[in-house]
Each structure stands twice: as structure tokens, then as C-alpha cells.
Amino acid sequence: MTESRDVLSPCCYRRKANGSEMADVSMANTLPVILNVYDVTEHKLVKGANKVFRLLGSGLYHAAVEVSGEEWSYGFTEGGSGVFSCPPRSCEVHHFCESIPMGTTSLSRDQLLRVVERLSGEWQGPEYDLVRHNCCHFSNAMLTALGVPEAPEWVTSMAKGGAHVVKAGERVLETVDEGKAARGASRGDGYQFGDLTRGLVANGKIARGA
């Protein structure tokens, strides 16, 4: 597999998944699958915060799947696939925390390569979203494709919770827009006191069929 030394934000150096690099790896009947977990970035504040969040079953983490001597994850790119690989536990822009054994996969070498190639096509770099479509979501997709359990809840809970917060925020903004419309304003007009209430009233009327 050919390595491109373009820095991939937010993770590591990119290695395109064309399958050749893994072709000479000796494959046993089953392969261990490992989830490698990192603190997001090397910032000391994040490391300290994660120690506290971990006690609460959460945290800000980068996740990657290790199988057959290579670690796979996902990040933003301006074009093409966001799937990349690096040596296990060696992502250069995050702080490695721990490795979690996830079981074994019985996929053959060719099947494993096809999984990587399929995911590389599905997980495009420009579609990366810090909350809704990130490395933790990718890791779960790859773990599922390998036939092992998804990541522990404490690894992904912050991403899932963030998605709920974003959705809630979007619902509030939509309600405000409906409130603006109720007073005859356009969505581009500035917020006025009462727009949220007017939107809630409008939603109530729609729900009642009024």
C-alpha cells in the first residue's frame, strides 16, 4: 500500500486503502480485533478531563480498529476517502490511552481487504462531522463488519450525546423560524423576543390540525 505523507486532520498520516500493503500478511484462521482508544489531541486539558469523564462513563476520544497488524480509522479530507491507516497505537495527533480486545474475526485475507475497500468508499472525507459522523462511528461500522461487538459505551457516549444536543438545537432553531413566519417575517430576519413562543404555538396548532 502506498503511503501519502499528507497530514490528515484530525488524525495521523494518511495511507490510502488499496489493499496491497496487507497482501503479504500471514493470516491465521482467526485474527484478533482490537479497539485502540486515544484522548482527542495531545492537550493536557483533554487528558485531565477524560480522567474525570471516564469515571462518569464518557469522554472525548479518538477510536481506531486494529486488525492484521494495521490500525484503521477515519477523519476529514477535502476530497476522497477519509479512511486511513497507521501503525497500531501510533496516531500522531492524539494521546494513546488503551487497547480493548474486541474478539476475533474469521474473515479471510481477501474478505478483510474487501471490508476495508468497501468502508473506504462509504466513508468519504468531506462527509466527516465531529458530532454525527466521526472516527467513533466509523470504528463501530468496521467492528460490525468484522463480526465483533461495537465499542464500549464510554468510548462513544460523548459523540452520541453531542448528536442529541445538536438535534435539539436544530429543533429550537426550526421553532424560532416558525415563530418568525407567524409574525410575517422571513427566516433571514433577526430574532425578536417571542419568536420561540410563537413557534411553539404554531407547532401546537399543526399538531392539533388547526
Give me the residue label for grid cell 471516564.
54
135 is catalytic: yes
Q: Which of 12, 86, 91, 135 is catalytic?
A: 135
3-state SS of 173-204 is HHHHHHHHHHCCCCCCCCCCCCHHHHHHHHHH
Q: Active-site residue 62, yes or no?
A: yes
Q: Indicate which residue of 12, 62, 97, 133 is catalytic.
A: 62
What is the DSSP annotation of 7-44?
EPSSSSEEE---SSTTTTS---SSEEEEEEEEESSS-H
For 176, the grid coordinates are 424560532
Angle, helices 153-182 vs 135-145, to 10°: value is 120
Q: For residue 120, which amino acid is it?
A: S
Active site residues: 62, 135
